[in-house]
Chain A
């Protein structure tokens, strides 16, 4: 890549003897800053940012198929409002009638706590941008608390929003706890470490589609390998796919099988990075294992732990393959995630509503993930420094 005459002492950079390819090379080198980053930025602009904007047009329109392609009719926020009220409300939010006392109490308690938190950060003098962010986070928290109180705590069926949140919150919690526990065991002085490490890592790499079908097969009541077990506990006539809670938990089971390896592998690396000197010094001083874990190990792995949860959360919001394959979103809509909801609407040719649900998922994901990032991950990272 060296242009040949740049080595000659005293030669002017604009020499007459330069060939055309030399000049091209020089021009490329001068603009190399642009050429290095432009492809990535252009690809993202064209295939991520532009479609995201384009999606707004879909979400704000009634879309019709005509012979000349699509016909858009602007309908303001009708597609969004339809998800929050009217006959689509039960599908997206759940049934919100007959809210129980417990539901109201829970909602009031969370609202009060959130408002107090807002008030406190206002008193502590947060910046304007910070206050707006906190306000959005608080609104989302109160909204989700209301849904939780109105559906789960009042015995009403859920909508797809709550199901998605269930997969995210419960899935992440279960996966983090088991993954970290396994990583902790593997970081102990045991033999066969490498074997376990490789084996535990494998499920992450298997296509989610294959995981879905494998679990559908394994959990089959009549032909699956667990059939003797179902017989023994008298559940041979029980179809878990018709039980909302069982179906949800089995989706979580498949999801955990796939994603615990991710938490495991990162947490294992973090645990092995904990300084041995401190741990051994504590052991010599007679500290118990629990004390060592709480006082030395945990503070050191905490920043990695919250980051890995954040990454897992971001991916968890996109869950679609497992519920689609294991239960097709059923029974009813009990296991339908928001991505699946949007996909079903697209299949029914309701492009506007499909885009609106997808957009609501985007808003939910961004608000929840950035709240988690701002108030938990950043705090831990700062503490670590």
Chain B
């Protein structure tokens, strides 16, 4: 192209067009650069500011919060550790208490498991509220994540590799029997363990008998859709019955209850994300391992899981964060012993003195720090388009 034609082209364009004209392909013009950066920085401030405000409020005292806004520590107001002292000055606020609490959890779980056979005296917690909530959040979050990711990825792998054919008749039988059990228990006053046992026995008998008659089946796609669609279910629909179920078996306000519920709530996400990774794996490796006589579980553990390590890590982090932040189930299912951090935050709102902002912010800061670290880790996986594949499929 000659200089002349370029000049002609330029004079054709309006001022606005020329302002946004890129100097070269793959570059941006100065104006659009300025605009982009100002928008991005504006958004960055919008994102940072609430977090910044929570963090500095955690280092304020009552006066610094109530006497109008103070923005910059050491300039506007003198930061202090009052809010933190409140949380850590209770008795049993030390590393020993946390260690004892962890032992207690293991021991009490053991005591619960053997309770039908031997009745062991459960240990009483001896730990300050903040540490109790923190240990609970860590233990429940970690246990629920491990349970959820292991069960979910096994199911996702099986759905990607094995052809399942659940019979339509069996599903119908299950639904009818479940409804019958519920109605019998709630209206006729039959004890739940009796009606459930009868329901289960009837299901296995009827499933056998009907299985030969009705042969129309569903496929893997249907099962996958069914599992993922459980995410649509609003938690408020199931929370009251779940509360009643745990009450019936005496699991209210226990860690086990929250672990199970959190694991179920995140199962659809895990299955959905992991299924996508497993489908993308080449099947040849597994086939040759099978020829060598490896068991299915061996193949899954030794070959498949290591191959999906990035996806597995991303899914685990995501589940961990979701469990760490969960509030609604915890409100219903925990009262004192299994309180998690979010409950602790909300509790600061309940006093007669109004909201103790500085104390609340200190707990929110404790909650936020590990999550931000995890978010930075997770972000590196997601940047590689980990989520994208699942969204596309």
Contact = CB atoms under 8 A, between A and B. Distances in A.
Interface of A: 1-3, 6-7, 25, 28-29, 32-33, 35-37, 39-41, 43-45, 47-58, 61, 70, 72, 74, 181-182, 185-186, 188-190, 196-211, 213-215, 217-218, 222-228, 257, 265-266, 269-270, 272-273, 280, 283-284, 288-289, 303-304, 307-308, 311, 314, 317-318, 320-321, 325, 339, 342-343, 346, 351, 354-355, 358-359, 361-362, 365-366, 369
27 contacts: A29-B296, A32-B296, A32-B297, A36-B157, A36-B300, A40-B152, A40-B267, A41-B155, A43-B264, A47-B260, A47-B264, A49-B178, A54-B245, A61-B187, A190-B33, A190-B40, A201-B378, A201-B379, A205-B321, A205-B372, A207-B367, A213-B345, A265-B382, A266-B387, A283-B25, A288-B17, A318-B235
A1 B178 contact: no
Given A53-B178, A213-B349, 19 more contacts: A3-B293, A28-B295, A32-B295, A36-B158, A40-B271, A43-B264, A43-B267, A50-B182, A188-B28, A190-B36, A201-B378, A205-B374, A208-B325, A210-B368, A270-B391, A273-B385, A325-B346, A339-B328, A362-B233
Contacts of B230: 44, 48
B117 interface: no
B327 A50 contact: no
Interface in B183-235: 183, 186-187, 223, 227, 230-235
A347 to B, nearest CB: 10
Contacts of A308: 391
Interface stretch (B44-52, B89-97, B106-114, B124-132): B44-52
A234 to B, nearest CB: 18
Closest 6 CB pairs of A and B: A1-B298, A36-B158, A40-B155, A54-B241, A51-B241, A207-B325
A49 B245 CA distance: 13
Given A51-B242, A190-B37, A365-B232, A284 B187 contact: no
A51 B245 contact: yes
B103 interface: no
Contacts of A196: 40, 44
A310 to B, nearest CB: 9
A189 to B, nearest CB: 6
B324 interface: yes
Given A50-B178, A217-B54, A257-B47, A361 B237 contact: yes
B243 to A, nearest CB: 9
Contacts of A339: 234-236, 328
Contact of B66 (A182, A200, A223): A223
Nearest to A282: B25
A256 B41 CA distance: 17
A55 B379 contact: no
A85 B60 CA distance: 51
A215 B345 CA distance: 14
Chain B's interface: helix, strand, loop or mixed, by majority? helix
Given A32-B296, A369-B232, A203 B47 contact: yes
Given A37-B158, A52-B237, A269-B383, A199 B48 contact: yes
A24 B185 CA distance: 38
Count chain B CB atoms within 10 A of each CB in A36, A40, A186 and give the residue with the most: A40
B391 A304 contact: yes
Contact of A39 (B32, B48, B151, B183): B151
Interface in B244-301: 244-245, 260-261, 263-264, 267, 271, 292-298, 300-301
Given A40-B152, A43-B151, A202-B51, A29 B295 contact: yes
Nearest to B390: A307
Contacts of B36: 185, 188, 190
B240 interface: yes
A61 B187 CA distance: 9
Contacts of B241: 50-52, 54-55, 58
A217 B53 contact: yes
B311 interface: no
Nearest to A216: B355
B49 A218 contact: yes
B227 A44 contact: yes
A303 B392 CA distance: 7
Contact of A186 (B22, B40, B263, B294): B40
A208 B327 contact: yes
Nearest to B327: A209
Contacts of A369: 232
B118 interface: no
A267 B314 CA distance: 18
Contacts of B346: 209, 325
Main SS class of interface, A: helix
A369 B232 CA distance: 8
A58 to B, nearest CB: 6
Contacts of B261: 47
B8 interface: no
A205 B371 contact: yes
Interface string B6-39: 0000000000010010100111100011001101
Nearest to B71: A225
Contacts of B360: 213
B238 A55 contact: yes
Interface in B171-185: 174-175, 178-179, 182-183
Contacts of B17: 288
B46 A257 contact: yes
Interface centre among A28, A32, A48, A201 (most CB of B within 10 A): A48
Nearest to B164: A37
Nearest to B363: A210
Contacts of B102: none
Contact of B236 (A222, A225, A288, A358): A358
A223 B240 contact: no
